[in-house]
Amino acid sequence: MKPKVYLTRLLPPAVMARLEEETQLTWHRDDHVATKAVIIAGAKDCDALLCNITDPVDAEILAACPCLKVVANFGVGFNNIDVAAATVRKIPVTNTPGVLTDPTADIAFALLLAAARRIGEGERLVRAQQWTGWNPMQLLGADVSGATLGLIGFGRIGKAMAKRARAFDMRLLYWNRTRLSPEEEQACGATYMSKEDLLKISDYVSLHVAYTPETHHLLGVAQFAMMKPTAFVINTARGPVVDEAALVQALQSKTIAGAGLDVFEREPELHSGLYECENAILAPHLGSATIGTRTKMGMIALENLLAACSGQRPPNCVNPDIFA
Ligand code: DGY
């Protein structure tokens, strides 16, 4: 028997083809985030829920869908799912790690370069047909090559960002919950530091932590005050890791020089002040947005749900204790 799957949003064609072939699929065809009522109506008799990072899968949804054998998230971050509630019900929750490491680091480095070199301001000037020609003092930005990059969070994506930064001869600092071994530190060319020292010294601070209660507003008023007025913040992790109101204040008052943001506290809404900040580069959560990556993410989510529906432990289970 093919498992009954409810999918909350259209995925790339190769993934849809496999889902249609290997499962009894129903999916939310309206290209908007599904409401809780829509998810419950769709998934109530299903074996698997294939959801997105924008779907808050909470205890109410889990209770209303008693047949679920798995919640397969299409994304590496899974802060949209109440994992504790799923664990109580012995439902495995899965994610899609690994395949989006490089594209996310690419976007983080692109934002760093764009913020430093004022690409957004330049583009707006040219498009508005306001550019009057080369000028020795126009849109002077900050140097990237040789500057100091502080990485907060040094897992897969943080290390991939470090790899890109090494090609720019950047000095690398990192803070992570767990310090690397001396051998690993040497291999990455990164120096461990307290968060506070890292913030004080870095020219660029890039965030690569998961969003948890501990990382909520990791950067706020006090942290921006520690940073150099010439420094930049790059966030490709999760919006609420940064206190967005405090960031707007820091950007407006030039407490820091700029920011490159791919994620926001209340997506798709932004703090209204951000739209006015010329010194912020704003991207619409594009970290994993390549057709190749999204296809791989879909295939991993499918493998996870097929394994769970056939009674096996899925390869990317984030609550493995349920199998103990
Ligand atoms: C994830 O998978 O967590 C990303 O944020 C999606 O791009």
Q: What is the pLDDT of residues 302-318, one digit of tens each?
A: 999 999 999 999 999 99
Whether residues 311 and 231 fall in one domain = no
23/73 same-domain check: yes
pTM: 0.97
Give the active site residues.
238, 267, 285
Check whether residue 270 and residue 193 sit in a common domain: yes
Q: Is the CB of 260 under 6 A from ligand 1?
A: no
| Å from CA of 76 to ligand 1 middle | 5
259 in the same domain as 132: yes
User: Would you give the distance in Å from CA 128 to the centre of its chain?
Assistant: 32
H helical segments located in the chain:
13-22, 36-43, 59-64, 83-88, 101-116, 119-127, 156-166, 182-188, 195-201, 221-226, 244-252, 291-309
| CA 45/CA 72 separation, integer angstroms | 16
Q: Are residues 237 and 108 in the same domain?
A: yes
User: Which range of residues forms the domain containing residue 220?
Assistant: 101-282
Domain of 107: which CATH number?
Answer: 3.40.50.720
Find the 238 Cα to ligand 1 centroid distance in Å: 9
Number of structural domains in the chain: 2
Distance CA 299, CA 38 (A): 24
Q: Using a 6 Å cutoff on CB, does residue 103 contact ligand 1?
A: no
Same domain, 95 and 141: no
Say if ligand 1 is within 6 A of residue 8 CB.
no
Contact 50/75 with Cβ under 8 angstroms?
no
Whether residues 128 and 259 share a domain: the answer is yes
What's the pLDDT at 31?
Answer: 87
d(CA 310, CA 302): 12
Distance 128 CA to ligand 1 centre (A): 33
Residue 283 in contact with ligand 1 by CB distance below 6 A: no
pLDDT, tens digit (0-9, with 9 covering 90-100), for 253-299: 999 999 999 999 999 999 999 999 999 999 999 999 999 999 999 99
**Burial (Cβ within 10 Å: 0-12, 13-18, ≥19) of residue 232:** buried
State in Å: Cα 134 to ligand 1 middle: 39
21 and 129 inside one domain: no
Q: What is the DSSP letter of 30?
A: S
Which of ligand 1's atoms lies nearest the C-alpha of 287?
Answer: 7
Q: How much is the pLDDT for 28? A: 98
| One domain, residues 124 and 190 | yes
Q: Note whether 113 and 48 are same-domain residues.
A: no
In which residue ranges of the chain is pLDDT below 50? none
Same domain, 157 and 242: yes
Same domain, 227 and 253: yes
